[in-house]
Amino acid sequence: MISAREQERYFTPEEYFAWEEQQLEKHELIDGRVYAMSGGTQNHSAIAINFLLLIRSHLRGSQCRVFNSDVKVNILHTPNYTYPDLSVTCDDRDREHPLYITYPCLIVEVLSSSTEAYDRGKKFERYRRNPNLIDYVLVSSDEMAIDIYHKNDAGDWLILSYRSGDSPEGMLRDRVELKSIGLSLPIEEFYEEIVFEPPPDAV
């Protein structure tokens, strides 16, 4: 989702929570500044819902919980709060506060052209400080393409790219693996009923 700075003043987390309760829009808090969150496209919303339904069904009966973009994520050991499109936590400590979670193992962001560089760069830099985070999932809304930043057992971050029908080095990688929650599904299921607009220069 697109965000734009709205206030020149600085907020403490307590001031931010109280102020945002009076607003009609959601706002992120980054380094004391608040940023208004704008709406996305139909594809953006539908893809996020597909992820939510598939993950919710998979997690049923477990201690893990999945949240949509109404729940904030506190960047661990900072006063920063973001609204990812989707987050999953399996940590009991995240039951302590109704407005946000702090220990997600999985975060999903559906990309837009205006936020992709931020989501891949500075936002991921903030998220990966959290030792609980295992999968950071970036989902295209323009084509069937998913990139997962996955933290392996050695603590190194790997980039796993998934495409429909893609076969790098003879190995199909069109089955998306969310190792943080033990879910593996064909990429097509995450894009069910999604219709992509043809590129502007298409004949």
Q: Provide the pLDDT confidence category of residue 39 given band limits of 50, 70 and 90.
A: confident
The SS3 of residue 120 is helix
Cα separation, 143 vs 191, whole angstroms: 9
When computed from its CA atoms, the radius of gyration of the chain, rounded to whole angstroms, is 17
Assign 138 to helix, strand or coil. strand
Residue with tokens 């879910």: 183
Give me the residues paired with residue 184 across strands. 177
Domain extent listing, the chain: 40-190
Q: What is the pLDDT of residue 9?
A: 87
Cβ contact 119:137 at 8 Å: no
| Residue-wise pLDDT tens digits, 166-191 | 555 544 467 999 999 999 999 999 99
pLDDT in tens, 116-157: 888 898 889 999 989 999 999 999 999 999 999 999 999 999
Cα gap 97→100, rounded to integer Å: 6
How far is residue 5's CA from residue 29's CA, in Å, rounded to a whole number? 10
Average pLDDT over residues 39-68: 95
What pLDDT shows up at residue 2?
Answer: 43
Find the length of the chain: 203
Kindly indicate the confidence band of residue 198, based on its pLDDT and cuts at 50, 70 and 90. confident
Q: How many CB atoms neighbour CB 68 within 10 A? A: 16
Confidence check: pLDDT of 4 > 60: no
pTM for the full model?
A: 0.89
Query: Under CATH, to which class is 40-190 assigned?
Result: alpha beta
Give pLDDT, residue 191.
96
